[in-house]
A = this chain, B = another copy of it.
Amino acid sequence: MAKSKWEYVKGFEQEETLLPSCWVVIRLDGHSFTRFAKDHEFEKPNDIQALALMDYAAQHVMKEFGDIRMAFGESDEMSFILNKASTLYGRRKSKLISLIVSCFTAHYVNSWSSFFPNKQLQHLPIFDGRAVCYPSERTLRDYLCWRQADTHINNQYNTCFWSLVHSGMTGAEAQDTLKHTQADFKNELLFSKFGINYAKLDPRLRKGSIIIRQPKRKAEGEQLEDLGKPMQLDAANHVPSTMPANLKGLEVLHEDIIQEHFWVSRPEMLR
């Protein structure tokens, strides 16, 4: 068969590659997750299990793609930081975005019943993805500062908003109460009206999730993960207590990454 006469159509592919020697951020965002959260009755302002599932799927992505140095997650978004020296798939943009989004989605769907044993999926979650290059450690860290500051701002607002709503206000009234208010006002509101000390809230909510590799554990023998068996949830850690052994080298932290301390104590992170 004259296959060749049609092969010219391959010439229409225009593959973009990511600039070498730049840190690459691949950020995933939940698609229509306001609706997804509502349909699956996520707790407000934060559903800890939903956040833990995000982190769990991200860990699997990091296990699959060794060139990912770290990940940062909040709400329904997850940023993966690809080593600036990585030549994975020739740094082809579409390839990297699609593989990471696909891997993340697969694990999110597959692990849903472990994290939500009593909730059936009403419709399936979808994530979009994008890739951004950062040419220096400074610009990359500023990206991470931007996301962690966003985590805090959104969480503080949402904590106030839902406290007001749970206390009887309508959504519109709560929105009015909070309009144009500063951080101090919101902290005071939480403390005086609801007895919430914002600074004492679960750091996962205030700081987001930072997923890193534990350098020492690398040498340990890897076991095949068991994807079929339902996992038991560990209430304290919000993660399945039977977490596959091969994920144990990946640590989930909820620390400040805006200040120097995190980076000074991990000099190998962005080397």
| A125 closest partner in B (C-beta) | B106
CB distance from A12 to the nearest CB of B (A): 5
Contact present for A120 and B21 (CB under 8 Å): no
In whole angstroms, how far apart are the Cα atoms of A143 and B3 in the complex? 11
**Contact of A6 with B by CB under 8 A:** yes
**Contact of A117 with B by CB under 8 A:** no
Q: CB-CB contacts of A4-38 with B at 8 A, as 1s and 0s?
A: 00111111111111011110000010010000000
Q: Which residues 75-121 of A have a CB within 8 angstroms of B? A: 93-95, 97-99, 101-110, 120-121
The residue that A21 contacts in the complex, of B124, B126, B136, B149, with Cβ under 8 A, is B136
One complex includes copies of this chain to the number of: 4
Contact present for B3 and A14 (CB under 8 Å): no
Contact present for B130 and A15 (CB under 8 Å): yes
The residue that A103 contacts in the complex, of B8, B95, B124, B136, with Cβ under 8 A, is B124
| Residue count of chain A within 8 Å CB distance of chain B | 70
Q: Which residues 141-160 of A have a CB within 8 angstroms of B? A: 142-143, 145-146, 149-150, 152-153
The chain A residues found within 8 Å of chain B, CB to CB, are: 1-3, 6-17, 19-22, 28, 31, 60, 64, 93-95, 97-99, 101-110, 120-136, 139, 142-143, 145-146, 149-150, 152-153, 183, 224-225, 227-228
